[in-house]
Amino acid sequence: MREQWLKRWREGRIGFHLAQTHPALVRHWKALEVPRRAKILVPLCGKSLDMRWLSELGHPVLGVELAPEAIEQFLAQRSGEISRYHQAGFDIARQGSVELWQGDFFHLHIRQVDEVEAFYDRASLIALPPATRQRYALHLAQLVPPRAKGLLISLQHCDDDAGPPYSVSQEEIDELFMPNFRLAKLEEGAPDERGFVESVWALERRGPLT
């Protein structure tokens, strides 16, 4: 999976990237009532413009991305001073209030995200094959504190084995996240021209891990 993802970015096969802020983020983020200065974790962030939108609301953003091409393309979208440093296996670039960690999300340790108070997943869960999604849900729960809120945007389509983006059913979302998060479905769209159905979820981290 790791090499396939890196190859997609090297070859520019990134049809999942939106050239605008995701409309569901704009519609639903403020309703979560995340404190204005809360730091937001964005796993598998790519070069998403959603991070700019969150930072413009006043949030510091910590994005984690495996592909260096994604990070460099994000930084090139805007002028502005870039500071770079290295920490515990991650190459880190900071531009304004957006901090991008280049490396494996599963190697991220809770000590490195101790200031995170909320999270946003637009294309992380659906980028992962079934065997990895349970590990992802548990790792996310380990990284964010109790009562941390987040937004999850997922997809469902007719070919469960095809991806990314992979199809993730409501039943699987419940199974993955309900042990450690409170879940509420905020919306479900109509099928698009590919037959993809997008759903949006609000999550809130429960107490101790189960």
What ranges do the domains of the chain cover? Answer: 2-205
**Which residue ranges make up the annotated binding site?**
9, 44, 65, 122
pLDDT of residue 164: 82
* CATH 3.30.70.980 is right for the domain spanning 2-205: no
> Which residues touch 160 (CB under 8 Å, ≥6 apart)?
166, 167
Measuring CA to CA, which residue among 101, 192, 182 is closest to residue 155?
192
Cα–Cα distance, 38 to 68 (Å, whole number): 26
pLDDT of residue 97: 96
**Which residue ranges make up the annotated binding site for S-adenosyl-L-methionine?**
9, 44, 65, 122
pTM of the predicted model as reported, rounded to 2 decimal places: 0.92
Report pLDDT digits (tens) over 135-162. Answer: 999 999 999 999 999 999 999 988 766 6
Residue 133 has pLDDT above 70, yes or no: yes
pLDDT of residue 23: 95
Q: Count CB neighbours of 97 within 10 A.
A: 18
Share of residues in the chain with pLDDT > 70 (%) = 89
Mean pLDDT calculated for residue range 47-56: 96
Mean pLDDT calculated for residue range 169-198: 94
Report pLDDT digits (tens) over 60-89. Answer: 999 999 999 999 999 999 888 999 999 988
